[in-house]
């Protein structure tokens, strides 16, 4: 890994799947840390194994907001700001967490198309 800013490391945000938690992808976080990344994993309110609010399971548009909020907090922290390379921030996610990553990159969910696809597949069965 090329480090353009000595003493600073790329940040990777991790977003868990529905009903998971910030610990769900610990194996990935550990591997990334060993490879020289700073890693932060978030719990998505109402959508974790120990905090289940059914309505929150469907409000996936809040996930990218959770991640953006944490990035802002990390970069505004006096000590963490010294080690995070703010020009190298990425994200990884599983399932609904994968959606969050795509949304952060500018992807837009088209629920109407997804519903039409579901209806088409359901009719085929």
Q: What is the pLDDT of residues 54-84, one digit of tens each?
A: 777 778 888 999 999 999 999 999 999 999 9
For 99, the domain range is: 9-124
Establish if 3 belongs to a structural domain: no
At residue 4, the pLDDT reads 58
Domain assignment present for 59: yes
pLDDT at site 37: 98
Q: Does a structural domain hold residue 58?
A: yes
Residue 80 sits in a domain whose CATH number is 3.40.50.1820
Name which residue leads in pLDDT, 125 or 120.
120
CA distance 121 to 115: 10
Q: How far is CA 117 from the centre of its chain?
A: 26
Q: How far apart are CA 75 and CA 84, in angstroms?
A: 7
Give residue 119's pLDDT.
86
> How many independent structural domains does the chain possess?
1
- Which segment of 5-9, 29-33, 80-84, 88-92 scores lowest on mean pLDDT? 5-9
Question: Residue 2 domain-assigned?
Answer: no
């Amino acid at each position: 890994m090329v480090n353009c800013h000595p003493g600073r490391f790329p940040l990777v945000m991790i977003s868990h799947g529905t009903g998971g938690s910030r610990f769900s992808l610990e194996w990935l976080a550990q591997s990334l840390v060993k490879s020289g990344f700073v890693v932060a994993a978030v719990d998505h309110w109402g959508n974790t194994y120990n905090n289940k609010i059914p309505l929150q399971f469907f409000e996936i548009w809040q996930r990218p907001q959770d991640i953006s909020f944490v990035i802002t907090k990390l970069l505004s922290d006096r000590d963490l700001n010294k080690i995070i390379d703010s020009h190298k921030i990425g994200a990884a996610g599983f399932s609904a967490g994968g959606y969050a990553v795509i949304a952060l990159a500018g992807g837009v969910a088209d629920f109407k198309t997804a519903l039409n696809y579901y209806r088409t597949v359901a009719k085929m069965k």
